[in-house]
Amino acid sequence: MEMNEIILNVSEWIGVISVTLLLTLSRRFAVRPVAFKYLRREVTLSILLAVILSAAAIYANLVLKLPTLPVSGKAGGEHIAGQLIWAAIILLPVVLLLVIRRQPLLSIGLSRPSTTLGLMLGVALALITIFLRGKVYSLLDGITAEEFNYLILSLVLALAGEIIFRGFLQLRFTGWLGRIGGWLLASLAHFLFCLPFVWLVNGENFAGFWLPAVVQLVQSILLGWIMRRSGNVLASGLYQAAHFWVASL
């Protein structure tokens, strides 16, 4: 990772934090607390799910050589079908748990009252990311078919990940450990889930791995913080999708 990329990441984070703080000052962004009747069972299932997903990510990235997050360029185009299947596989347990136990969308950070505001914040964060990454002129030139496919893939993988880690896990860990503890534990779970991907795309050697791993850790913490401020996974999901997509522009 070059110094220029580090500077771009830092400027993006500062911009995202500033926009999030500005837009969530309104009382309309007051986060509705989520209470679970059988919290111990929810936490047990959440820990089990986090462990299984981390193991699955290790297998997919290091054994199957399937990147579990978007990869730009020709190498990324070869994996789109597999990555879409991967997104469906990791999201399936959460969907089944909600359906079988008849839990509302509120329990995964998709409550109706916060959807509009979460969407507004998500779009604002996506736009500021594109601007700070210097990709505005790339969009003015038009979007190629490859870039459009990468956008769809970025949206699918980002929203699937945010529903799982920020919607399902973070809300349940928050009920267990409080807002800060739940946020940090869910961020750690997400970081461990992403770590095999970081290892794969950075040449599977420590020299090129450790700095991108630190960047991923900060990114995971930031996504959890956005969820804390907004109460809706659309905000963090759309930002994460934009973060992925700008790599292809």
Task: For residue 40, give every residue at least 6 positions away whose Cβ sits within 8 Å of its Cβ, in sequence order, or none.
Answer: none
Residue located via tokens 């945010």 = 162
Position 43 scores a pLDDT of: 96
Distance CA 171, CA 20 (A): 19
Residue that has been written with the tokens 């981390």 in this structure: 54
97, exposed or middle or buried, with CB in 10 Å at 0-12, 13-18, 19+? middle
pLDDT tens-digit profile, the chain (249 residues): 677 888 899 999 999 999 999 998 877 666 777 888 889 999 999 999 999 999 999 999 999 999 999 987 655 678 899 999 999 999 999 999 999 988 988 899 887 778 888 999 999 999 999 999 989 888 888 888 888 999 999 999 999 999 999 999 999 999 999 999 999 999 999 999 999 999 999 888 888 889 999 999 999 999 999 999 999 999 999 999 999 999 888
**The whole model's pTM is what?**
0.94
- Tally: H helices and E strands in the chain: 10, 0
Instruction: Tally Cβ neighbours within 10 Å of residue 84.
Output: 15
Distance CA(243)–CA(239), nearest Å, equals: 6
Residue with tokens 């290790």: 58
